[in-house]
Amino acid sequence: MKITRLRLLGFKSFVEPTELVIEPGLTGVVGPNGCGKSNLLEALRWVMGETSHKSMRAAAMDDVIFAGTTGRPPRNSAEVTIFLDNSARLAPAEFNNSDHLEITRRIEREAGSAYRINGREARARDIKILFEDAATGARSPALVRQGQIAEIVNAKPEQRRRILEDAAGVAGLHSRRHEAELRLKAAEANLERLTDVLGQLN
Ligand code: ATP
């Protein structure tokens, strides 16, 4: 799935509605220091489900909302939308009825954030798996943060394997397996309780 557009509203320094068209081929973002280049990459990671405010260079997740400047009041919400070309139908089955996917994450001050896929409410889990299956996501090795190369060089073998698995698009399978294991544990606990109750009845 190709990312075709990114739309920001009230995210960090992008207080005005801003739309970035990502054409096929190489896209470069250039600009003076502090103009918001890293904020753009963070917006991309954030809409794909980033949960760590630290990796957004923020003291709390609310700090991704435009904080105001002299003469411009702060905003109370921020929204980022990513547009994906799904003409190859690579999205999970439940979202595969459309050529285009529009994924939005919106945060309200002190109320947390919520996701929508093509206008319908979605869970963070749906977003995570959708991007993992597409071999990308908030933690994708394709989005290289400052200092990340050194981290990879110094990483332990298991951490490096994780990076390769992310790139190969099998991370979604790990998430599904983890969920299945949790459900299995819950079923086992229920079974145990049932056995106890049956024991008391006999
Ligand atoms: P460099 O080339 O130095 O790495 P850059 O172009 O990557 O810079 P960013 O780090 O993306 O720039 O943007 C930093 C700017 O974003 C700063 O001016 C900072 O004040 C502004 N900024 C960050 N968070 C917010 C926020 N919540 N509200 C308003 N402005 C913000």
Closest CA to 40 of 52, 59, 57, 24: 57
Answer left, alpha or beta for residue 112, where phi above 0 means left and psi between -120 and 50 means alpha.
left
Are the C-beta atoms of 1 and 84 separated by less than 8 Å? yes
pTM more than 0.95? no
Question: Which residue has a Cα nearest atom 14 of ligand 1?
Answer: 34
Per-residue model confidence as pLDDT tens digits over 70-122: 989 999 999 999 999 988 887 777 777 888 999 999 999 999 999 999 999 99
How far does CA 149 lie from the centroid of its chain? 21
**Annotated binding residue 36:** yes
What torsion do the CA atoms of 115, 118, 121, 126 make, to the nearest 10 degrees? -60
Cα angle 72, 81, 51 (rounded to 5 degrees) comes to 85
CA of 140 from ligand 1 middle (Å) equals 22
Rounded CA gap, 27 and 157, in Å? 32
Rounded CA gap, 123 and 115, in Å? 6
- ipTM of this complex prediction, to 2 decimal places: 0.95
What pLDDT is stored for residue 132 in this prediction? 78
Question: Which residue has a Cα nearest atom 24 of ligand 1?
Answer: 12
Rounded CA gap, 129 and 165, in Å? 14
Look up residue 9 and give its amino acid: L
Residues with CB under 6 A from ligand 1: 12-13, 31, 33-39, 63, 66-67
What torsion do the CA atoms of 81, 86, 90, 91 make, to the nearest 10 degrees? 40
Closest CA to 105 of 132, 138, 140: 138
Per-residue model confidence as pLDDT tens digits over 133-178: 776 666 666 677 777 788 888 989 998 888 788 777 777 788 888 8
Query: Ligand 1, closest atom to CA 146?
Result: 4
Rounded CA gap, 82 and 152, in Å? 27
**Annotated binding residue 118:** no
Q: What's the token pair of residue 80?
A: 């980022």
What pLDDT is stored for residue 137 in this prediction? 67
Residue 187 pLDDT level (bands cut at 50, 70, 90): very high
CA of 78 from ligand 1 middle (Å) equals 15
Rounded CA gap, 156 and 200, in Å? 51
| Mean confidence (pLDDT) of the chain | 88
CA of 85 from ligand 1 middle (Å) equals 29
What pLDDT is stored for residue 133 in this prediction? 74
Closest CA to 67 of 7, 105, 18, 13: 13
Residue with tokens 């509203």: 9
CA of 49 from ligand 1 middle (Å) equals 20
Query: Ligand 1, closest atom to CA 67?
Result: 28
Question: Which residue has a Cα nearest atom 30 of ligand 1?
Answer: 13
Q: Which of 6, 13, 75 to mutate to test the pocket of ligand 1 (most atoms within 8 A of CB)?
A: 13
